[in-house]
Chain A
Amino acid sequence: MERIPGSGVRSGNCRDNKQEISVEIFQIGEEIRRLMTENLLQEAPRPETGSSFTALLGLPENQAMELLNSPESYDSPAILTADIWRERGKDQKTLSYPFNCSPTFPSNAALVERAARFSIFAAAQNSPQTSSVPSNSSENSLKLKNETTDSESNPTILNKNQISLKRKERQKKGLAKKSKNMGDESSKLPYVHVRARRGHATDSHSLAERARREKINARMKLLQELVPGCSKISGTALVLDEIINHVQSLQREVEFLSMRLAAVNSRIDFNLDSLLAAESGSLTDGNFPGMVMPSMWPDVPVNGTRRQQHHNQHQQLWHVDVGRDNHNFISQPNSLFSYDSTN
């Protein structure tokens, strides 16, 4: 932490401006609070904290950076959503303080005015310059701040508001985590040990019901992932609609394909080679060499010994076949099978 020399001197000048500053800072604090609640309610620790800040700022970012880079020797005022930084910092450990913090408060009236206009500074770039971060509500910063004479009155106004906000956020996050964990538990264990949540009924019936409901919801989620286009839909009835449509369409396809197959061949006994070849095309290649040989031999029941005999003979053919087009394989002469006259 760097202390800016001459802070004592500046304090004298500032006493006049204190009240102005306090008013302005209070307004800024309101803005900050509003933005914080908006931002944090949308949720989640985002990996890039910088981008969220720039999003928050929008336009003022450039001007903020200007301010930061201003050649003035004193600290550029940075009245911060220090809370947000700290929260994010805890989660991702990327940010502790983006600026080298010095506890002195903005003393220059002009700077403070500018700060009032651009309320939040982007933490995106690590500015090499020292700029003060009057980080309000945490214990550490309080200690630092108390050392300077300026900052005593001002942060206290902001402190209380921001502390209460922080608590609310933590509560929300805690609840969310709890509910997630509970959901996981109940879907994994065969025996569901469900703890009654705060504000919910605790008799065995409702617990059992809740466990059942969570089971059903877990299955529904799986189904949603399986059926294409279902993940966006919310609501059980619509999801079930989609599932029904999907199943019906699959069944119709099976019928249609069987009709097509019936139309292609006048007799049913298909070319077995083509059957096997179709499989070699559609299955993944890695499975084939190790796979059990398909034991579809005419008039031969599924028999282990026979499989072995023919296995070696066909091994070469199969290896040849993998990766080639199906019709190439079919055209090759095959000693064991007789080609059926399919027309």
Chain B
Amino acid sequence: MGARSSFKLEFLKKWALGLKICSSLAKDMSFLERKKAIKLSADVAMASARDGTTCWSRALIANASKQDDKKIIVRTMLGSEFKKITKSSSSGSFKPEKRVRSKKILRRSCAITRIRKTATKRVLACSIAKRLVKKRTQVLKGIVPGGESMDEVSLLEETLDYILSLQAQVDVMRGFANTQVLSNPK
């Protein structure tokens, strides 16, 4: 529990920092803007609490800093770490897209020839199972930030880490929301 609670504290610190920055930037925000700001700072805080050790955190920050208005927030939140994190994540993103595209073409052409070959039921069942698993892994890659450029093994590791930190994030936010409700009964 020690590691988890230290992670939560880190997250909380950075989140509060991010919220302060957001509020200082724009005084009056609409509901949606507020929500987005909260979410953004929460996500970035979660990612930076991981300190760039995991792939998904770097990818999250990279995604967040793509849009200009968010970039400022992110940069001020992270401070010095920002450069470190963005550097390490920038290189790996381009190649897998091309790989994916060519794989699709290949796969289609192969599937046609393959279907004629596979006659036995068992082989068919295996191929169906493999196809299902592949679909699922594709979906998972879409969900986990930065999942595109990972192979299966590291994808599973990243999901593990991501799930843990998401849970911690949810816990902290929920606790905070409850105290807010308690302190401001309307």
A residues with a Cβ closer than 8 A to B are 212, 215-216, 219-220, 222-223, 226-227, 235-237, 240-241, 243-244, 246-248, 250-251, 253-255, 257-265, 267-272, 274-275, 277-279, 281-284, 287, 291-292, 294-296, 298, 301-302, 326-327, 330, 342-343
Contact = CB atoms under 8 A, between A and B. Distances in A.
Closest 6 CB pairs of A and B: A240-B136, A219-B156, A262-B34, A262-B35, A258-B38, A250-B166
Contact of B23 (A244, A247, A269, A281): A269
Contacts of B31: 262-263
Interface of B: 1-2, 5-6, 8-9, 12-13, 16-17, 19-20, 22-23, 29, 31-32, 34-35, 37-39, 42-43, 79, 129, 132-133, 136-137, 139-140, 143-144, 152-153, 156-157, 159-160, 162-164, 166-167, 169-184
Nearest to A327: B182
B175 to A, nearest CB: 4
A265 B186 CA distance: 11
Contacts, number: 170
B16 A259 contact: no
Nearest to B30: A262
Main secondary structure of the interface of A (DSSP, over half): helix
28 contacts: A226-B164, A236-B136, A237-B132, A240-B140, A243-B140, A244-B140, A244-B143, A247-B159, A247-B162, A251-B143, A254-B166, A258-B35, A261-B176, A264-B180, A264-B184, A268-B37, A270-B180, A274-B176, A274-B183, A279-B9, A283-B8, A284-B1, A287-B1, A287-B6, A294-B13, A295-B13, A326-B179, A327-B182
Contacts of A260: 177
